[in-house]
Amino acid sequence: MRTISENRCFGGVQGVYAHKSDATDCEMTFGLFLPAEAEEEQVPVLWYLSGLTCTHENAMTKAGAQKWAAEAGIALVFPDTSPRGDGVADDPAYDLGKGAGFYVNATEAPWAPHYRMWDYITDDLPRVLFSAFPLAEDAQSITGHSMGGHGALTIAMSFPGRFRSVSAFAPIAHPTASDWGRKQLGAYLGPDAAKWAPHDATLLMRKRGFDGPVLVDQGGSDQFLDLLKPEALAEAMAASRQNGTFRIQKGYDHSYFFVSTFMESHVAFHADALLA
């Protein structure tokens, strides 16, 4: 692992680091905010998964999460959204290829050699983080925006007991029934829709739900509502009697203006679970 940058931030340190990933077989970059408490002890950690076209940097610089995390004494992890490098497959479209890893393990050509973001987020990067930094492995929560909200929800529901809480900002909620999902899941996983189901938050919510609290915020004026399908996830949460809150925020769109507006309440939501 190598250090790209470290900057003092709200009494803690906002770092950016790179490492060779076994999962993606390329160098990966991530951001990590450590609050002041990390100088003395292990601290809880909140994962933030970003959306389409993003890198580790978008939420790190736009979401304003460090202020609230510092006040709560919580670390923040900002992973990248896909493998990178000259030898990594890509596509001219913004919603496939680099910046659009969709948090799955690709099985199809030309994606399979590097696009293993599921393993990267759930196994490879955690091993790096918990071996190199003072993070409490038994105190983790996860959140994300758009494609990252999809990733946060599906990963949280697939690893019972790992995360104390999960939240999402405008998640791609029902990808098997959306053009933001069918295209990518078909490309990465092949035409068999049965292989897509484990990566659909609505289907997972109906099947098993999450073993902790859930918070979802959706902008009421989001320009991508038809692709996100929030109503499907809300119905699944109600049907499964999930311990959670689903909020439509009137007038808000899909941008980081929306994310940053409600970031304080999401960090507070996770702090309640992480510091209990």
Any idea which residues carry the catalytic annotation? 146, 222, 254
CA–CA separation, 54 and 50 (whole Å): 6
Relative to beta strand 12-21, strand 43-49 is unpaired
Relative to beta strand 26-34, strand 43-49 is unpaired
CA–CA separation, 237 and 164 (whole Å): 17
CA–CA separation, 228 and 36 (whole Å): 37
Angle at 232 between CA 229 and CA 207, to 5 degrees: 130
CA–CA separation, 21 and 169 (whole Å): 27
CA–CA separation, 200 and 231 (whole Å): 14
Three-class DSSP category at 83: coil
Long-range contacts, stretch 85-92, CB < 8 angstroms, 24+ apart: 85/26, 85/27, 85/114, 87/26, 87/114, 88/26, 88/114, 89/113, 89/114, 89/115
**CA torsion, points 259, 263, 267, 268, in degrees to nearest 10?**
-140
Three-class DSSP category at 220: coil
CB atoms within 10 A of CB 137: 12
Closest to 150 (Cα-Cα) out of 222, 89, 233, 220: 233
